[in-house]
Amino acid sequence: MTAAVLTKGIDPLKKKKRIYEVDLLRGIPIFLVVLYHFCYDITQLPSLISNYQSIINNYPALDSFVSLCQEIMSNSFLHDILVPFFAGMFLFTCGISSSLSRNNLRRGLLLCGAALLISLGSYLISDILHYNVFIGFGILHIMGLSILIYALIELFYKKVLKKEVPVLLCFVIGFLVFFIGLFLRNGYLTDSLSNVTWPVSSISGISYLDWINKDPLSPLYVALGYYSAPIDYWPIFPYLGLIFLGIAFGKILYQNKKESYLQFLRFPVFKPILFIGGHTLWVYFLHQPIIIIILGVILLSMGFRL
């Protein structure tokens, strides 16, 4: 792999033309992710602050806000409907972006590297706080792996077959992976007529490294969806399918039109959400540290202690 391959199609002096509707569809889920993580962080305050109970009575409004966030985070509609829907929207849009990209190999490697950093950082935090926040196969992992797989298919078609990746191939891969994943999650009957679903068990309650030592293939099982992880868990089945379906639709929608269909999104009122959608990786990487730092400064000044 040479530097020329990784930088192919990249002109640092040429400003990339934005597809506004793609930025919008990426920006909305990421904005909601920031709100979701903010609520989650608030719910963790009672367990992370040593003098929480003794001092919270001095701040009844904060106590009420923590209770509100706890109610939101325990809402089944949020976890069962809203989170999968908006995550699915984000992954599908990721596929559309991949169909427009001039260098998916670079994007895939960048996202895989970012995913590894997320795993390393979450493991270190878990070890320091003795609280499981480890992310073994999160949304960056599935994005990076899916784009990398598509990039290799793309390279094979362009270098060996001298043509573009067929829309039908992307659609078939996406359809099969997505619906096989739904089938596995909804369950199937064994010979004994018992119902079996993926994931069949969870890694929560055990050190991830201990789990790997017990079963060296556990990372593969987690990636496929055979075992579940407690935090930020988006396995190959069915979510790689959504990305490949997005690639197929992107090839159809923007085959002859490499510009936005919704030009009215250029209006200033849309700029904040479009900015988020155009810088999703940075927003995803930085929002949690920023939230934690701001909360830490505010709470420490109020007398709370870790």
Give pLDDT tens digits for 187-197.
776 666 567 78
Instruction: Please give the pLDDT value at position 134.
Output: 81
Q: With bands split at pLDDT 50, 70 and 90, how would you rate the model's confidence at 297?
A: very high
With tokens 């070890």, the residue in question is 127
> Amino acid letter at 217?
L
**For the chain, how many helices (H) and strands (E)?**
15, 4
Query: Please, what is the end-to-end C-alpha distance for the chain in angstroms?
Result: 47
Instruction: Return the structure tokens found at 131.
Output: 């609280």
Q: Strand ranges (DSSP E) for the chain?
A: 188-189, 195-196, 201-202, 227-228
Q: With bands split at pLDDT 50, 70 and 90, how would you rate the model's confidence at 272?
A: very high
201 - beta bridge partners?
A: 227
Among residues 167, 298, 152, 137, the alpha carbon closest in space to that of 230 is found at: 137
b/e map 141-173, b = 16+ CB within 10 Å: bbbbbbbbbbbebbeeeeeeeeeebebeebbeb
Give pLDDT tens digits for 223-252.
888 888 777 889 999 999 999 999 999 999
